[in-house]
Amino acid sequence: MLSSSVRPATPGTPFAAAAHPTEDYFRSLVECSPDVVIVLDEDGVVRYVSPSVDLMGFTEQQLRGHHVGDFLHDDERAEALSRLRFLAEHPGSSTRSERRVRRGDGAWRVVDAVSTSLVDHPQVRGIVMQLRDISARTAAQTALRASRERLKEITEIIAEVFWVSDPDSTRMLYISPGYERIWGRSCESLYADPRSFADAIHPDDRARVADALAAKARGEAMAVEYRIAQPDGALRWIWDRGYPVRDPANGAVSHVVGVAMDITERRQTQDELKLFRELIDRSSDAIEVLDIDNLRFLDLNQTACDVLGYSRAELLTMTAFDIDPLLQDGVPKERMEQLRGVGQACFETRHRRKDGTTFPVEVNIKRVDLGRSYLVSSARDISDRRQLESAMEATIRALSNALEARDPYTAGHQQRVAQLARAIAVELGCSDDSMRGLSLAATVHDIGKIAVPAEILARPGRLTKPEFDLIKCHAQTGYEILKDVAFPWPIAEIVHQHHERYDGSGYPGGLKGEQILREARILVVADVIEAMSAHRPYRAALGLEAALQEIERGRGSAFDPEVVDAAVRLFRDRAYMLPR
């Protein structure tokens, strides 16, 4: 198992001259890997475990001498032990599976387990298991599925017609119940004959609709207004838009997503809804041994060659500068100080392949002393993580568009609040990660209004108390919509708290001061400024100066004084302009 993961230096290389490929050499490579390596005897008792087992909440002493079945989930133990017996009886065989294993604190983690039988190997005489924690990946996949289901639930409750079809309109993949209310025909009839919706189109409008469908078949976006006749003869005006969704693998249009709105009584807008589901790349780590003085490669495993596209001979003539375009005048000072101090560092960068393309990696690097100092690096491709974050952002945008399509008077409000909130966060010196989470939360902070009737949202004049109480529920509703989505940021909580006030006078929880997330305290101020500066059905725009005076009056009571000061500086000292 170990010898197949890392190739020893060939005789004559600088590394081989300083340290022969001994047990200490291979042990150093294993110990720098984030994967856990365990050696079992033929009975399944742990004989060896690599130091990275501390990621599972155990020490080597706690595992050694225990049967591996003690740490397996009850539902999987019998089948896993059966595989181990097979391995013990068939030297040289190998299996791979996903297992739930118990951490030292009792929590369960999902691991990718590769087991190889080396019972006839004179130096091993046991079963070697390599465990990689894939809990984050499986949780992310679950989160994406939940997001997709959540979007479907939203389409089921909105009054508009949400549809998904193939590009040629020969198959209807999905039609929401709104079709029955607006067209007066059953969804089942449309699934049976996807073109039957056209039977209701007014004769004078059919040519225009035919042109739109032709554009749709060519993979272009479509937008068309037309009239339909309901079964009782009543005419309704429809605004129908469709957008192609392309397969990220080949760029071909896989299906078309659209929204058809009844615009007879009121005008509405609907931006495109897209749901991207990114596939997670399961690639092995590239392990590299480098000269600590000049970062020249002294040894590499085969994965490094495969991932970077170079031969082993080529890479042994190169340095880390050749594959890391972010390295300028050497390893950043703080990174070298960390290596000299604690002996290891973890950071993200980009690696460049032989063909010139780059990809993001997470690097775990450790100083190893074997007579002289070397650097042992484990580089993991994190492209899937970046793709996952993009998918989450796409989901956020889809949720935001779903709301703004129902409330034309506040169309763009969430995006403008997001831009202003980010600008305030920059003024406050917030981290990039915090600002990213704040921007996404601001983009959907009013998503709970999806449950508020559109006629209430768009009604001019003062609302009744019951109507206002219904609107006030949107913070809690937004939280319920988002709480089960596993974002890397506290999106649901920020949305939940965006009507809390610094002195505890807000809703829904009456939180005060530091009980309110900092991101929510920023969002509150941005929301007030944008809302007062913009037109609303029940009043004209009050203007920016009135908004700034309002937050200054509430400084230290309704609003966080630090956030208020940053917002005022932004407009009065830095001449910031509200986005339009």
The tens digit of pLDDT for each residue in 367-424 reads 887 778 888 888 888 777 667 666 666 666 666 666 666 666 555 788 889 999 999 9
111 and 78, same structural domain? Answer: yes
pLDDT class for 280, splitting at 50, 70, 90? Answer: very low
Single residue among 199, 228, 262 that ends a domain in this structure: 262
For 49, phi then psi, to 5°, come to: -145, 135
pLDDT tens track for 479-535: 988 888 777 789 999 999 999 999 999 999 999 999 999 999 999 999 999 888 876
Q: What is the pLDDT of residue 272?
A: 35
pLDDT class for 42, splitting at 50, 70, 90? Answer: confident
How many domains does one find in the chain? 4
Single residue among 384, 419, 448 that ends a domain in this structure: 384
254 and 291, same structural domain? Answer: no
- Nearest Cα neighbor of 516 from 532, 529, 505, 527 is 505
- The CATH number of residue 112's host domain is 3.30.450.20
7 near 312, Cβ under 8 Å? yes
- Residue 468 inside a domain? The answer is yes
pLDDT tens track for 191-236: 888 888 888 889 999 999 889 888 888 888 889 999 888 888 888 8
186 and 239, same structural domain? Answer: yes
Coil/strand/helix, residue 372: coil
Helices vs. strands in the chain: H and E counts, helices first: 22, 15
Coil/strand/helix, residue 88: helix
Cβ neighbourhood burial of 193 (10 Å; 0-12, 13-18, 19+):
exposed
366 and 410, same structural domain? Answer: no
Sorted by sequence, the CB contacts under 8 Å of residue 178 that are 6+ apart come out as 158, 159, 160, 161, 162, 260
Among positive and negative, which fits the CA dihedral 109, 110, 114, 116?
positive
428 and 545, same structural domain? Answer: yes
- Residue 482 inside a domain? The answer is yes
Cβ neighbourhood burial of 159 (10 Å; 0-12, 13-18, 19+):
middle
Query: Residue type for 4, please?
Result: S
Q: Residues of the chain with pLDDT > 70: what percent?
A: 79
- Residue 516 inside a domain? The answer is yes
Residue whose token pair is 């002393």: 369
> Considering only 65-74, 142-151, 549-558, which range has the smallest mean pLDDT?
142-151
- The CATH number of residue 461's host domain is 1.10.3210.10
- Residue 276 inside a domain? The answer is no
552 and 413, same structural domain? Answer: yes
562 and 474, same structural domain? Answer: yes
166 and 101, same structural domain? Answer: no
Euclidean distance between CA atoms 295 and 377, whole angstroms: 11
348 and 414, same structural domain? Answer: no
510 and 462, same structural domain? Answer: yes
Euclidean distance between CA atoms 171 and 174, whole angstroms: 9
Check: pTM over 0.75? Answer yes or no.
no
Beta strands in 106-234 (DSSP E): 108-118, 126-133, 161-165, 172-175, 222-229
Long-range CB pairs of 86-89, under 8 A, 24+ apart, other chains included: 87/115, 87/116, 87/117, 87/119, 87/127, 88/42, 88/43, 88/117, 88/119, 88/127
- Residue 268 inside a domain? The answer is no
Euclidean distance between CA atoms 313 and 315, whole angstroms: 6
546 and 416, same structural domain? Answer: yes
290 and 165, same structural domain? Answer: no
- Residue 26 inside a domain? The answer is no
Q: Tell me how crowded residue 416 is: count the other CB atoms within 10 A of its CB.
A: 21
- Nearest Cα neighbor of 297 from 270, 263, 324, 328 is 324
The residue segments making up the domain with residue 206 are 161-262
Euclidean distance between CA atoms 165 and 525, whole angstroms: 42
